[in-house]
């Protein structure tokens, strides 16, 4: 489409013709914003409209756009607009779309309009993992938004997902990732994957899993917490998502189509090879995205909430890794040990043979330099009754460090023995370097539901500060044998109160 005709459809401007002299682009001020919102905002949201204008007028001049804007004001505008307001409105529009004042000044001096500058800046501001990076710090070094201007933030665009899936979703937990100026997220109960233009909110593509009866039986029928990103050795962007029916799917980040050269036509059936029983429906899925470390993708699992389990047995939440180049499984870590593995004896009466769950429903984290992945494991089957599984129940409620390449256990720390409170680990372990007298301490920090922060050396699992095994009350529930003690960190102090006395204190 001709750029002039395209913009005529977009701009709502049309007054009698007169020539607008070249006016220097003014600094963004209240006049430009005021005139835009007075005459233009009823039809045009400024951020997305800015990108439409820059795309339509790429390769043309500021003066031509200025003249076109003046000549095509809508006839219903009755109050005159001063000539000086036109460059102010355009400056506001370009600045809102991501151009700096220096760029706007260069446009006025003769530089042709380009639609690449804001996109390039967005491309440099990547958030390619659920928690920012595999270290799970949720921190960005970007400083354009700071304490002095955060109060000035305004909504640039909205994108709604209420029409995705068979019914509107009751809760949305997805965290978009951003790579190359594009946002990638999950949406709706069927866990559709969408790609959005980060600057404008425009939907670029959508992929919908069609799982039929498998979706109807799924343990976790909601949009989940997001997707993972991987760049192939050939430089191709790939999106990885775990569907409600528990399949791992690889999509082309440019098109949203499955990458059919990966595994079985672009997907891996994660229900294959599970340790389960024949007497129970397949109660397993995932609520968090997989984690990519190099050319390996690691997947956890989530089951139905275990407050009132129908049986003492369930599928085990083993953690598995796959080769992203071949789609083949690389390793499996048994979260509940087999008879010949260390830890089996912490399940008395051979209860490890039938007990399930104990998976990693929360996101994972990893230290690529150490080649370690860290698992925040949950409690075993039956969140609040352990009479059918006496013992400390390794590796339930533990932080576990595995070798990324082999799945070999490097170390673990169990934070709750024999959980009967649903105190599973609810988030990815945070990896950070804590300054100390020797330079920096390589820490892993697991935050917990009971408001303790457990801090370990992420290389070895040795506690940064002592863990004290404190005695706890015995259970009075028939058949329940509670653990005699629980590990309490000496430091740091709890970040929420740890009880209430009889007097309310």
Read off the pLDDT of residues 247-295 as tens digits, 9 standing for 90 and up: 999 999 999 999 999 999 999 999 999 998 665 667 888 999 999 999 9
Considering the domain boundaries, does residue 403 fall inside one?
A: no
pLDDT confidence of residue 306: 63
Q: Are 420 and 376 in contact (CB under 8 A)?
A: no
Provide mean pLDDT across the span 468-473: 96
The verdict on 181 and 115 lying in the same domain is: no
State which of 59, 91, 121 marks the end of a domain. 121
Considering the domain boundaries, does residue 361 fall inside one?
A: no
φ, ψ at 219 (rounded to 5°): -75, -30
C-alpha–C-alpha distance, residues 340 and 165, integer Å: 45
The verdict on 60 and 30 lying in the same domain is: yes
Q: Look at 56-70, 99-113, 233-247, 281-295 and tell me which has the smallest mean pLDDT.
A: 99-113
The verdict on 41 and 77 lying in the same domain is: yes
- On the question of pLDDT at 80 being above 80, the answer is no
pLDDT-derived band at 403 (thresholds 50, 70, 90) equals: very high
Considering the domain boundaries, does residue 50 fall inside one?
A: yes
pLDDT-derived band at 383 (thresholds 50, 70, 90) equals: confident
The verdict on 33 and 97 lying in the same domain is: yes
pLDDT confidence of residue 14: 34
Mean pLDDT of the chain: 85
- From the list 114, 194, 113, the residue with the least C-alpha distance to 159 is 194
Provide mean pLDDT across the span 225-242: 94
The verdict on 132 and 108 lying in the same domain is: no
- On the question of pLDDT at 117 being above 50, the answer is no
- On the question of pLDDT at 448 being above 60, the answer is yes
Q: Look at 110-114, 130-134, 147-151, 394-398 and tell me which has the smallest mean pLDDT.
A: 110-114
Provide mean pLDDT across the span 477-503: 92
Q: Are 421 and 306 in contact (CB under 8 A)?
A: no
Considering the domain boundaries, does residue 372 fall inside one?
A: no
Rg (CA), the chain: 28
Per-residue exposure over 458-485, b if at least 16 CB sit within 10 Å of its own CB, e if not: beeeebbeebeeeeeeebeeeebbbbee
Retrieve residue 163's tokens.
Answer: 């029409």
Retrieve residue 301's tokens.
Answer: 């699992």
Considering the domain boundaries, does residue 302 fall inside one?
A: no
Provide mean pLDDT across the span 390-400: 98
Number of structural domains found in the chain: 2
C-alpha–C-alpha distance, residues 315 and 277, integer Å: 7
Residues 6+ positions from 197 with CB-CB distance below 8 Å:
51, 181, 182, 183, 204
- On the question of pLDDT at 118 being above 90, the answer is no
Winning range, highest mean pLDDT, from 162-171, 219-228, 462-471: 462-471
- On the question of pLDDT at 217 being above 70, the answer is yes
The verdict on 7 and 117 lying in the same domain is: yes
Provide mean pLDDT across the span 201-206: 95
Considering the domain boundaries, does residue 339 fall inside one?
A: no
The verdict on 25 and 98 lying in the same domain is: yes
The verdict on 43 and 103 lying in the same domain is: yes
Tell me the percentage of the chain whose pLDDT exceeds 90: 57
pLDDT confidence of residue 15: 33
Q: Are 379 and 303 in contact (CB under 8 A)?
A: no
pLDDT-derived band at 307 (thresholds 50, 70, 90) equals: low
- On the question of pLDDT at 473 being above 90, the answer is yes
The verdict on 248 and 180 lying in the same domain is: yes
The verdict on 176 and 91 lying in the same domain is: no
Per DSSP, the three-state class of 55 is: helix
The number of helix segments (H) and strand segments (E) in the chain equals 8, 21
Work out the angle between the directed axes of helices 85-96 and 46-56 (0-180°, nearest 10).
100
Q: Are 261 and 292 in contact (CB under 8 A)?
A: no
Tell me the percentage of the chain whose pLDDT exceeds 70: 84
Q: With residue 10 as reference, give the H or E element that holds it.
A: helix 3-10
State which of 209, 225, 254 marks the end of a domain. 254
pLDDT confidence of residue 111: 67
Q: Are 334 and 347 in contact (CB under 8 A)?
A: no
pLDDT confidence of residue 455: 98
Q: Return the ∠ at Cα 48 (arms to 44 and 49), rounded to 5°.
A: 45
Provide mean pLDDT across the span 2-23: 38
Considering the domain boundaries, does residue 366 fall inside one?
A: no
pLDDT-derived band at 34 (thresholds 50, 70, 90) equals: confident
Q: Look at 172-181, 298-307, 380-389, 457-466 and tell me which has the smallest mean pLDDT.
A: 298-307
pLDDT confidence of residue 191: 92
Query: Which residues share a beta bridge with 316?
Result: 357
Q: What is the extent of the structural domain holding 186?
A: 125-138+161-234+243-254
- On the question of pLDDT at 375 being above 80, the answer is yes
pLDDT-derived band at 433 (thresholds 50, 70, 90) equals: very high
Winning range, highest mean pLDDT, from 197-211, 301-315, 327-341: 327-341
Per DSSP, the three-state class of 162 is: coil
- On the question of pLDDT at 456 being above 50, the answer is yes
The verdict on 28 and 56 lying in the same domain is: yes
Query: Which residues share a beta bridge with 276?
Result: none
pLDDT-derived band at 142 (thresholds 50, 70, 90) equals: confident
pLDDT-derived band at 488 (thresholds 50, 70, 90) equals: very high
pLDDT confidence of residue 42: 63
pLDDT-derived band at 161 (thresholds 50, 70, 90) equals: confident
Of 383 and 195, the one with more pLDDT: 195
pLDDT confidence of residue 366: 96
CA distances for 109 relative to 25, 56, 63, 104, angstroms: 9, 20, 9, 9
State which of 254, 286, 308 marks the end of a domain. 254
The verdict on 93 and 133 lying in the same domain is: no
């Amino acid at each position: 489409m001709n750029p002039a005709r395209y913009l005529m459809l977009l701009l709502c401007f049309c007054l009698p013709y007169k020539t607008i002299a070249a006016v220097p682009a003014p600094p963004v001020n209240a006049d430009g914003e005021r005139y835009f919102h007075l005459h233009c905002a009823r039809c045009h949201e400024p951020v997305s409209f800015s990108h439409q204008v820059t795309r339509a007028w790429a390769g043309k001049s500021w003066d031509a756009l200025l003249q076109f804007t003046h000549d095509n004001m809508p006839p219903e505008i009755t109050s005159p607009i001063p000539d000086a307001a036109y460059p102010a409105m355009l400056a506001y529009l370009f600045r809102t779309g991501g151009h700096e004042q220096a760029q706007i000044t260069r446009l006025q001096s003769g530089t042709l309009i380009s639609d690449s500058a804001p996109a390039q800046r967005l491309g440099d501001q990547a958030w390619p993992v659920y928690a920012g990076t595999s270290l799970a710090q949720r921190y960005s070094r970007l400083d354009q938004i700071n304490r002095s201007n955060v109060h000035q933030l305004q909504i640039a665009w909205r994108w709604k997902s209420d029409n995705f899936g068979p019914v509107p979703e009751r809760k949305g937990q997805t965290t978009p990732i951003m790579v190359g100026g594009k946002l990638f997220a999950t949406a709706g109960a069927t866990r559709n994957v969408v790609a959005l233009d980060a600057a404008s909110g425009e939907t670029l593509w959508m992929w919908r899993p069609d799982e039929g009866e498998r979706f109807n039986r799924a343990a976790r029928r909601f949009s989940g917490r997001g997707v993972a990103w991987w760049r192939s050795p050939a430089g191709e962007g790939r999106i990885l998502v775990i569907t409600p029916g528990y399949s791992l799917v690889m999509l082309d980040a440019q098109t949203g189509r499955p990458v059919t050269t990966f595994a079985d036509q672009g997907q891996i059936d994660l229900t294959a090879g599970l340790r389960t029983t024949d007497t129970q429906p397949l109660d397993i899925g995932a609520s968090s995205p997989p984690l990519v470390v190099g050319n390996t993708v690691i997947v956890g699992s989530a089951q139905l909430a275990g407050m009132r389990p129908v049986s003492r047995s369930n599928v085990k939440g083993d953690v598995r890794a796959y080769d992203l180049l071949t789609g083949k499984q690389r390793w499996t870590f048994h979260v509940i040990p087999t008879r010949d593995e260390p830890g089996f004896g912490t399940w008395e009466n051979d209860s490890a043979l039938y007990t399930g769950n104990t998976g990693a429903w929360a996101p994972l984290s990893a230290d690529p330099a150490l080649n370690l992945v860290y698992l925040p494991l949950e409690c075993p089957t039956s969140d609040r009754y352990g009479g059918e599984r006496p013992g400390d129940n390794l590796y339930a409620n533990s932080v576990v460090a595995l070798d990324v390449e082999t799945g070999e256990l490097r170390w673990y720390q169990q934070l709750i023995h024999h959980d009967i409170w649903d105190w599973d680990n609810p988030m990815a372990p945070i990896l950070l370097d804590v300054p100390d007298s020797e330079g920096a301490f390589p820490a892993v920090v697991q935050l917990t539901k009971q408001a303790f922060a457990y801090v370990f050396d992420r290389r070895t699992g040795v506690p940064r500060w002592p863990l004290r095994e404190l005695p706890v009350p015995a259970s009075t529930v028939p058949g329940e044998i509670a653990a005699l003690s629980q590990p309490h960190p000496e430091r740091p102090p709890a970040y929420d109160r740890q009880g209430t006395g009889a007097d309310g204190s």
